Amino acid sequence: MPGLLGKKIGMTSVFSADGKNVPCTVIEVGPCVVTQVKTVDKDGYAAVQIGFEDKKEKHTTNPMAGHFKKAGVTPQRHLAEFKGFGEEVKLGDTLTVDLFSEDDFVDIQGTSKGKGYQGVVKRHGFGGVGQSTHGQHNRLRAPGSVGACSYPAKVFKGMRMAGQMGNEKVTIQNLRVVKVLPEHNVLLIKGSIPGSKGSIVLIEK
Structure confidence by residue, pLDDT tens digits, 52-76: 999 999 999 999 999 999 988 999 9
β-bridge mates for residue 47, sequence order: 38, 83
Task: Give the chain's mean pLDDT.
Answer: 91
pLDDT for 88 equals 82
Average pLDDT over every residue of 171-192: 94
Cβ atoms of 6 and 44 closer than 8 Å: no
Q: How far apart are CA 110 and CA 169, in angstroms?
A: 6
Rounded to an integer, what is the distance from CA 135 to the centroid of its chain? 46
Please list, in sequence order, all residues whose beta carbon lies within 8 angstroms of the beta carbon of residue 23, skipping any fewer than 6 positions away. 11, 12, 13, 190, 191, 192
Query: How many angstroms separate the Cα of 166 from the Cα of each of 60, 83, 200?
Result: 30, 28, 16
Which domains are assigned to the chain?
Answer: 3-117+170-204 (2.40.30.10), 118-165 (no CATH)
pLDDT for 181 equals 92
pLDDT for 125 equals 94
Average pLDDT over every residue of 97-111: 92
Q: What is the pLDDT of residues 1-27, one digit of tens each?
A: 788 999 999 999 999 888 999 999 999
Q: What is the pLDDT of residues 70-97, one digit of tens each?
A: 988 999 999 999 988 777 888 888 999 9
User: In this predicted model, which residue has the larger pLDDT, 111 or 131?
Assistant: 111
pLDDT band at 118 (very low <50, low <70, confident <90, very high): very high
Is pLDDT at 114 greater than 90 in this prediction? Answer: yes
Cβ atoms of 82 and 3 closer than 8 Å: yes
pLDDT band at 50 (very low <50, low <70, confident <90, very high): very high
Q: How far apart are CA 116 and CA 126, in angstroms?
A: 18
pLDDT band at 134 (very low <50, low <70, confident <90, very high): confident
Sign of CA dihedral 18, 19, 23, 26: positive
Instruction: Count Cα atoms within 13 angstroms, Cβ side, for 99.
Output: 28
> What is the SS3 assignment for 191?
coil
